[in-house]
Amino acid sequence: MNASKRVLPGFGLSLGISLFFISLIILLPITGLFIRAAGMGWEQFWLVVSDPRVVAAYRITGLAALAASLFNCGFGLLMAWVLVRYDFPGRRVLDALMDLPFALPTAVAGITLATLFAESGWYGGWLAELGIEVAYTPLGIIVAMAFTSVPFVVRTVQPVLEELSPEDEEAAMSLGASDFTVFRRILLPALWPAVVTGGALSFARSLGEYGAVIFIAGNSPYISEVISLMIFVRLEEYDFPAASAIAAVVLTVSLLLLLGINIWQERYLKRLHGG
């Protein structure tokens, strides 16, 4: 295409503007965070991040985020499949509801979930009869994280499903392939990278969740205390270096995870397409 006919600016100007805003909005605050954490010195940094209560919060947050992400991978794939492959009354409303966790203030989501899953709530009362407690337990953390991060999986898988032709599945089934074989040999190879990417985004989002989790978790030390609460506690104590050190660990884990997923996805797609 002729450069004079391009709607957007050229590569140099576009890249320059993009890097400027990325530096201003993302890199500069992150750099400040790491500089403040580095100012503590290694011994003090290690003392803060290896505190038993902080380590317990890391463990609880990581396990809850992992459970929520695994649930979202299955549920998000099913929801994307329903939205793409079926036409039914209310489909557009259901599609719009998938984005609701993005728009809903997380504190409102947390209060709503805590009300619903409390023993006196609509779901909590019914679950209590089965001996299942959700509110103010680690299970409540998983519910809140799954609620706030499920759109990442749905919106990542949905475009890939729309690109897949149903004729391939119909051709395989007409040749005698079972439903499981069609899913394993035709759908899964194409959907797998999107599901993993959506799951990784869901996991990274859940690691930093605060508003939705704080109202339903119970916040008992060593039991249901998440790492974002530990950061908030340090900030309330005006211990900004300690808060920065704890946040730096979460940020580093999230960054490495997302970078690893991007590299894996690129290599997988190259192998899939014979590149």
Looking at residue 194, which CATH number applies to its domain?
1.10.3720.10
Cβ neighbours for 186, distance < 8 A, ≥ 6 positions apart: 168, 169, 172
Residue 155 lies in a domain: yes
Picking from 19-28, 48-57, 156-165, 236-245, which range would have the lowest pLDDT averaged per residue? 19-28
pLDDT over 90 (residue 42): no
- For the chain, the domain total comes to 1
Residue 4 lies in a domain: no
pTM of the model: 0.85
If pLDDT is split at 50, 70 and 90, which confidence band does 15 have? confident
The overall average pLDDT reported for the chain is 87
Q: Which two tokens stand for residue 206?
A: 């859940």
Residue 14 lies in a domain: no
Name which residue leads in pLDDT, 51 or 33. Answer: 51
Residue 1 has a pLDDT of: 46
Residue 33 lies in a domain: no
Residue 32 lies in a domain: no
Name the nearest CA neighbour of 207 among 165, 260, 253: 253
If pLDDT is split at 50, 70 and 90, which confidence band does 272 have? low
Yes or no: say if 110 and 211 are a contact pair by the CB < 8 Å rule: yes
Indicate the burial class of 82 (C-beta count within 10 angstroms; 0-12, 13-18, 19 or more).
middle
The whole-number average pLDDT for the span 192-219 is: 89
Residue 202 lies in a domain: yes
> Computed from CA positions of residues 247, 250, 254, 259, in that sequence, does the dihedral angle turn out positive or negative?
positive
pLDDT over 60 (residue 4): no
If pLDDT is split at 50, 70 and 90, which confidence band does 198 have? very high
Instruction: Say how far apart CA 170 and CA 177 lie, in whole Å.
Output: 9
Q: Which two tokens stand for residue 169?
A: 């599945």
pLDDT single digits (tens) 79-98? 999 999 899 999 999 999 99
Residue 22 lies in a domain: no
Name which residue leads in pLDDT, 152 or 30. Answer: 152
How many Å separate Cα 234 from the centre of its chain?
Answer: 25
The whole-number average pLDDT for the span 160-184 is: 84
Instruction: Say how far apart CA 69 and CA 261 lie, in whole Å.
Output: 14
Per cent of the chain over pLDDT 90 is 38
Residue 25 lies in a domain: no
Residue 18 has a pLDDT of: 84
pLDDT over 90 (residue 41): no
Domain holding 212, by residue range, is: 42-273
The CA angle 263-267-268, to the nearest 5 degrees, is 115
What are the Cα distances from residue 244, in Å, to 40, 56, 124, 221, 227?
10, 18, 37, 20, 12
pLDDT over 70 (residue 273): no
